[in-house]
Structure 1
Amino acid sequence: MIDQELTKIKSSTVLVTGGAGFIGSNLCENLLNNNISVVCLDNFSTGKLKNIQPFLNNSKFTLIEGDIRNLEDCHKACENVDYVLHEAALGSVPRSINDPITTNDVNVSGFLNMLVAARDAKVKRFVYAASSSTYGDHEALPKVEDVIGKPLSPYAITKYVNELYADIFQKTYGLDTIGLRYFNVFGKRQDPDGAYAAVIPLFVKQFLNHESPIINGDGSYSRDFTYIDNVIQMNILAITTTNEAALNTVYNVAYGDRTTLLELATLLKKHLVSLDESIANIEIKHRENRAGDIPHSLASIGKAKKLLKYNPQFNISDGIKEAVNWYSKNL
C-alpha cells in the first residue's frame, strides 16, 4: 500500500532532516527503495554515517552535512525540495533535564529555522516529528490529539512549541504542515549505546552481553511501543495524502496498545532465548523511577485511521521479533 502511495510523488524530491539518525535513515531507505530522490541533512551529533553508508553511491541520494541551528544550512537543504520530513531533534527527557539550553536550541530554534527555510523554498508540505511527551500530566487513556496536559520536561515543552509554530506558519504563511506524535518508536538502527539509549535496544544489548536489564520503578509503567515500519507508513501517508482535511493538524503515531516495562523485558527475553538459551537465567533488576517520566502512555489512532487511512502492520510482538533479528546480526 505504501509503495503505491509513493507513486503520487515519484518525480519529487524529499528532504529528510536528521536523515542519518534512527528514524531518519529508515525513511531515507524506504524513499530510495521506491526511486524517490532524497536529500539528507545531518550534523552527526547523534546520527551515524554508518546508517546512511549504503546510500552514498545512490545517484538519487544527496548528503548535506549541516546543522539546523544554522539558517544557511537549512536554506541550502531546502533548495529544489518538494517535501520535508523533519526528524532532526535532540531526543530524550533525561538529556533535556540535564541540558535544557541545548535541547531548546536544537528543537525550537532549529525547528523555526527549518520552517523559515521551507517557507522560503515554497515546499509543498512540511511533516515533522512531534512527540507523545506533549500529553504531559494528562492522565486519561487513550491519549486523544486534542486533549493534552502540562509538559513534564524541557523536551516536552520544545515539542509542544513545535506544534504551535507549525500552526502559526500555516495560518500566517500558508505552509501546509502535519505533526506526528511518535509513541516510543523502536526498530533497526536504533542506537543501544550512550547515556540516553532507548529502552529496547539497551535491554537487547544487555541480555546479549549477559547483563541484567534495569527497569526504572516496579515495571508497571506502560508504553505504546511502536515499530519503525508503522512510523514509515505514517510519514509516507502524511506527505502523499490528497485529503485537504488531513492537513495542518497532528496525529498520534502508535499501534494503539500498551505494554508494561516488565512485560517488555519478559518478551525480549523470550525472543532472545532462541539465540542464547542462557539468557533465560538472567535476572531483571529495578531502580527508582526517573524524573520527567509519565506513568502510562497509550494512543488513540482513530484520527489517523480516519483521515490518513493509517493501518499499522506491526504489533509489539511482531516488531520485537524483527528488531531482535536485526540486533542479533548488528550488535
Structure 2
Amino acid sequence: MKIVITGGAGFIGSSLVRALTEQPQVTRLRVVDNLSTGDKANLAGLDVDFFEGDVQDAALLDQAFRGADAVVHLAALPSVPRSLRDPLASHHANATGTLQVLEAARRAEGPHVIAASSSSVYGANPHLPKHEELVSAPMSPYAVTKLTTEAYLSAYHHSFDLPVLPFRFFNVYGPGQRADHAYAAVIPKWISAALAGQPVTIHGDGTQTRDFTYVGTVCHVLTDALVRRVADPCPVNLAFGTRTSLLDLVQEIETATGLRVQREHVPGRIGDVPHSQAESTRLRALFPTVAPVALQEGVPAAVDWFRRRLTMSQL
C-alpha cells in the first residue's frame, strides 16, 4: 500500500508516519509539506519520500499522488486566531488546498482520501455532546474552511465516486506537539510555561471545556481506516466524549509536572467555542477496537517529551 500524507512533517502528520512505518501492509510513504508549520526534523530517520511544496501546487501533487492507494490530507493553516488575522490565507490553504487535493486524487484514478476537519465547525451550536447531525454554526473563518473541507469531500464522493472519510478532530495533543510558535495549542503552551516557571495565560474565566484527544489514539484510528479502507462521506467525530475545563487542565499539568502553576487570566478571544464534547457513537461503530487514552495518562507523556527536549537543549 502506497500512502501520501499531506502536512506529514507536522505534529499529527509525523506521528502518523511513525505509526504507519510499523504496518507491514504499507510499502511506501510519501509526505507533502511546505514546512510553514511543520518541520522536516520530525521525519528524521523515517523512510519517506519527501515532497517539499504547497498543496495548491497541482503539478507537485500529481507527482506525489502517482500510483498512490490512499491520501491522508492533514495539511492546513491551523488556529482560529490566525484565521481572524488573515481569513484569506486560511481559505486558500484549507479550502482551496482541499479542492486541489481532491482534483489531484481524481487525476490519480481515485485513491482513498481521508481528511482532517475540526470540532470548530459546531461553533455556536450549544447542544452537548456534539453529534455529527447537528446544524453547524462556525464562529471563525478557520471553522468555515473546515466545514468547506467536509462539503468538498462529500461532493466528490457523490459526483465522482471518490472513496472519502472526513474526521472532525477535537483538540489533539501529545508528545511532539511544540509550543514555540505564536499559535501553539493550549496543552503544549501550558506545559512549556509550567516547566519554565512562568504563568499560564487563560483566556476568560477558564470554565470553558474541551474534549482532548491523545495523538496516539488519532493515529490508531487513521491507520485502521487506511488498512481497512473505511470510507464514508459523512463526517466522523474523532474524540470520546470527555469534557475537561481549562481550570481542570491546569491541575492535570500541575500533577504531571509536580509544580505549582500560576494562572493569569486575560479577556476571552473572539471565535472561541465555549464548550466542546464529542458524541462518539459513529466513531465506535466504525472503529470498534479503538480505546481512548485518558488525560491522566496523556498529559504526563507530553510532559516527559518536553522534559527530554529541555535536557537535550542543555547538553
**TM-score above 0.5:** yes
Match of residue 203, structure 1, among 174, 190, 198: 190
Q: CA deviation at 1:221?
A: 0.3
Cα offset for 1:74?
A: 1.3
Comparing 218-227 and 306-315, the one that deviates more: 306-315
Distance 1:69 1:167 in 2: 20
Which of the residues 64, 77, 100 maps onto 1:77?
Answer: 64
The question of 1:259 aligning with 2:244 is answered yes
How far the C-alpha of 1:268 sits from its partner, in A, is 0.4
Q: Is 1:44 aligned with 2:58?
A: no
Equivalent of residue 19 in structure 2, options 30, 37, 44: 30
**How far did residue 77 of structure 1 move?**
1.2
2:256 to 261, 264, 271: 271
Matched with 2:97 is 110
Q: Distance in 2 between matches of 1:201 and 1:307?
A: 30
2:233 equivalent among 248, 257, 260: 248
Supply the AA of the counterpart residue of 1:52.
L
1:135 aligns with 2:122: yes
Say whether 1:306 aligns with 2:285: yes
Q: How many residues align?
A: 308
d(CA) in 2 for partners of 1:43 and 1:17? 9
Displacement of 1:71: 1.1
Q: Does structure 2 conserve the Cα–Cα contact (< 8 Å) formed by 1:145 and 1:250?
A: yes
Q: C-alpha displacement at 1:129, in angstroms?
A: 0.4
User: What residue number does 1:329 align with?
Assistant: 308
Residue in structure 2 matched with residue 19 of structure 1 by the alignment = 8
- What amino acid maps onto 1:25 in structure 2? S
Other structure's SS at 2:45 match: helix
Shift of 1:104: 0.5
CA distance in structure 1 between the aligned counterparts of 2:74 and 2:29, rounded to whole angstroms: 14
Instruction: In structure 1, list runs of 5 or more residues that go unmatched.
Output: 1-11, 274-278
**Paired amino acid for 1:26:** S
- 1:221-240 equivalences under 5 Å are 221-240=208-227
Moved more, 86-95 or 249-258: 249-258
* Deviation of the 1:310 alpha carbon: 5.1
SS at match of 1:285: strand
Q: CA deviation at 1:149?
A: 2.8
Letter in 1 for 2:64: A
Contact 2:112 2:229 in 1 (8 A): no
- For 1:247 and 1:292, the matched residues in 2 are separated by 29
Show CA shifts across 1:77-106 (max 9, x none). Answer: 111110001100001000000000110010
Structure 2 unaligned spans of 5+: 311-315
The within-5 A match list for 1:154-165 is: 154-165=141-152
* Contact 1:85/1:128 (8 A) holds in 2: yes
Q: 1:191 to 1:265 in 2, by over 3 A?
A: same
Matched letter for residue 246 of structure 2: L
Q: Which amino acid aligns with 1:40?
A: V
Distance 1:310 1:91 in 2: 29
Task: Please tell me the residue identity of whatever aligns with 1:44.
Answer: L
1:26-82 deviation digits (Å, cap 9, x = unpaired) = 001111122422101101000001111121xx3xx2111111011111111111110
- Quote the Cα distance in structure 2 between the aligned partners of 1:180 and 1:149: 15
Q: Could you give the per-residue CA deviations for residues 266-299 of structure 1, whole angstroms, max 9, x where no partner exists? A: 11011101xxxxx22x321111111100100000
- Contact 1:237 / 1:310 at 8 angstroms: preserved in 2? no
Q: Does the 8 Å contact 1:256/1:298 carry over to 2?
A: yes
CA contact under 8 A between 1:134 and 1:148: conserved in structure 2? no
TM-score of the superposition, structure 2-length normalised? Answer: 0.95
Corresponding residue number in structure 2 for 1:54: 45
CA distance in structure 2 between the partners assigned to 1:17 and 1:158 by the alignment: 17
Whole-angstrom distance in 2 between the partners of 1:328 and 1:109: 38
Q: Percent identity?
A: 36
RMSD of aligned residue pairs (Cα, Å): 1.3
Q: Name the amino acid aligned to 1:287.
A: V
Structure 1 residue ranges (4+ consecutive) displaced by more than 6 angstroms after TM superposition: none
**Contact 1:255 1:314 (8 Å CA) reproduced:** no
**Deviations, residues 136-165 of structure 1 (Å, cap 9, x unaligned):** 111010000111332100000000011111
